Amino acid sequence: MNVIRRAYTTKSLIPPNLASATKLSGSSKNGQMNEVVDFYKRLPKGAAQVTKPSGPWGHYKARYIDGDNASVTPLLHALFGIFVIGYSIDYHFHLKHHKNGNHH
């Protein structure tokens, strides 16, 4: 339902075919062409402003993932995190019971 509603609301933003024969001949739908022209006049011009990253994930992404800074460091961080979590689980459920001798 949400997809249908979104498609209906964005329909007014999608301009009609500008090269159609009725638009070029100057028929009675000239008002619709004026709406399209007004729509394009209101669009911002130039390049989009660069936003500064916010929050810890935004700073991490800007430092290691985006643009020219892209590297394999996030993959290494993920592997290290998985290792730490796995070792912690092993220690809690198995290794801490064996630190004073065998219990098997």
Would you state the pLDDT for residue 48?
Answer: 82
Residue of 71, 67, 13, 65 whose CA lies nearest to 40: 13
Looking at per-residue confidence, does 93 or 104 come out higher? 93
> Kind and range of the H or E element at 73?
helix 73-93
> Given a cut of 90, is residue 103 above it in pLDDT?
no
Give the pLDDT band (50/70/90) at residue 75. very high
Give the pLDDT band (50/70/90) at residue 80. very high
Looking at per-residue confidence, does 93 or 103 come out higher? 93
The verdict on pTM exceeding 0.75 is no
Q: How many Å apart are CA 27 and CA 31, to the nearest integer?
A: 10
